Amino acid sequence: MKDLSRKLFCLRALHGYTQAYVAKQIGVSTTIYVGIEKDASAIPVKRLGSIAALYDLTLENLFAFDEKDLIALLKGKIPAILQEEFLPQLVAKLDAINKLLCQLVQHALSQLRNNGTKPD
């Protein structure tokens, strides 16, 4: 989930937030949030949802774009995906990402049900 960690860093930088600010907004210590930006692989879905909400995103939105687009924004460049001729490719990419995420969620829920636990 290194891509997610980089994405969270880029989102924070784009909004001009400090790690301490984001940590306070999502209800964790700064140390925990720093760990999230270093390795987002163990982040609970609820916490990830709180982070997405801080940036006025849904979880689906959060996973739908590439951190390279954020880096381009930080550098003052317009990402290529915003150019009209790339919109059909973007729609296809987002559709594929959406389907994959739905499959992963269904698989995770199935495993949780088989283990007799409930998701957060």
CA–CA separation, 8 and 25 (whole Å) = 14
What domains are defined for the chain?
Answer: 2-115 (1.10.260.40)
- Tokens 């930006």 -> residue: 37
Q: Exposed, middle or buried by CB within 10 Å (0-12, 13-18, 19+), for 29?
A: exposed
pLDDT at residue 29 is higher than 90 = yes
Q: How far is CA 24 from CA 14, 48, 64, 91, in A?
A: 18, 14, 26, 35
Cβ–Cβ < 8 Å for 87, 30: no
pLDDT at residue 18 is higher than 60 = yes
What's the whole-number average pLDDT of the chain?
77
pLDDT at position 78: 55
- pLDDT tens-digit profile of 75-94? 766 554 455 666 676 675 66
Within 10 angstroms of residue 57's Cβ, the number of other Cβ atoms is: 16
- Tokens 């860093």 -> residue: 9
pLDDT at residue 70 is higher than 70 = no
Q: By mean pLDDT, which of 11-15, 17-21, 39-43 is the weakest?
A: 39-43
- pLDDT tens-digit profile of 94-107? 665 566 567 667 77
